[in-house]
Amino acid sequence: MAEEEAIQVEEGPVPVLKWDQGLFEQIVGGYPFSAEWDARYPWQGQTAADALSGYITLFSDFFLEGNFRLSATNFMASILHHYGFHISQMSPMGMVRVRHFKFLCISQGLEPTVEKFRAFYQLIRNMGFYSFGNRGAAKNILISLPKSFHDWKMKFFFIREEVTPITMIFRESDKIEKEELPIRKGADWYMYLLATPNRIFGEQVLVTVAMSDKWPEHSKEVPILTFNCEGMPYHFCSFL
């Protein structure tokens, strides 16, 4: 819990815009976003709570610090559905934990599931947003956490709600039921998941190791990173 408290800002109304439009355009163009998603930089004076009907709010640090990609995966949807909150109610630290867990599972050839996730984490609410804290005696699988998310609540944009595969609801209750779950120390998948640091990866790296959300989930192809002889930018092809 201490690590969460160290990176949050004061409780209260969601702050107004405080980031550069150029960074927004880098995110939209660099990941990239589909034009159909209609990502919108907010007007001056708008807050993160001002998303129009049919749109949701996302924070830049989801992408810059949490390796988040669009469209959202089924695993992300299952997390939001199980815990019953909206993605715009998640803190960047919560995003870091969810995405890191998925990458860790995939690197071991495991299917990331809510059941496995709950073996390590429990839902927490801090400073008005939801995240996940380590579960009791469960081993710590995430090290080298980000030290801070400076002004993250003020760096947001709006985008079509279709980028998530489920209909989300806003969680109204502050109450979180404490879950008493056994530690699955004898399960193979529990033993395979070892403590690893949080790292920020470019899309090229994620595709190369078949961990990108843009790579078909059940594809039998192997991604290949190639360079031409003149040192021009790399590109991807596939190989059966």
Q: Kindly tell me if the per-residue pLDDT of 233 is higher than 60.
A: no
Position 210 confidence tier, pLDDT thresholds 50, 70, 90: low
234 and 117 part of one domain? no
What domain count does the chain have?
2
Name which residue leads in pLDDT, 98 or 175. Answer: 98
139 and 62 part of one domain? yes
208 and 129 part of one domain? no
Residue 51: domain span: 2-197
Give yes or no for a contact between 78 and 112, defined as CB atoms under 8 angstroms apart.
no
184 and 212 part of one domain? no
Position 183 confidence tier, pLDDT thresholds 50, 70, 90: confident
Q: Kindly tell me if the per-residue pLDDT of 226 is higher than 80.
A: no
Three-state secondary-structure class, residue 117: helix
pLDDT, tens only, 61-74: 999 999 999 989 89
Environment class of residue 196 by beta-carbon count within 10 Å: exposed (0-12), middle (13-18) or buried (19+)?
Answer: middle
The predicted structure's pLDDT at residue 179: 76
CB proximity list for 98: less than 8 A, separation 6 or greater: 66, 75, 76, 79, 117, 132
Nearest to 157 by CA among 20, 8, 32: 20
Tally of CB atoms within 10 A around 107: 15
The predicted structure's pLDDT at residue 173: 77
82 and 43 part of one domain? yes
Nearest to 60 by CA among 97, 18, 99: 18
The predicted structure's pLDDT at residue 6: 40
Q: Kindly tell me if the per-residue pLDDT of 231 is higher than 60.
A: no
Q: Which DSSP symbol is given to 52?
A: P
The pTM (predicted TM-score) of the whole model is 0.82
106 and 205 part of one domain? no
Percent of the chain with pLDDT over 90: 54
The predicted structure's pLDDT at residue 28: 94
* Helix 74-83, helix 92-107: angle, nearest 10: 130
CA distances from 216 to 34, 70, 219, 222, 223 (A): 17, 13, 5, 11, 11
182 and 215 part of one domain? no
221 and 237 part of one domain? yes
Q: Kindly tell me if the per-residue pLDDT of 116 is higher than 80.
A: yes
Q: Kindly tell me if the per-residue pLDDT of 234 is higher than 50.
A: no
Average pLDDT rounded to a whole number, residues 119-138 = 92
The predicted structure's pLDDT at residue 14: 67
Q: Kindly tell me if the per-residue pLDDT of 232 is higher than 60.
A: no
pLDDT, tens only, 188-203: 999 999 999 988 877 7
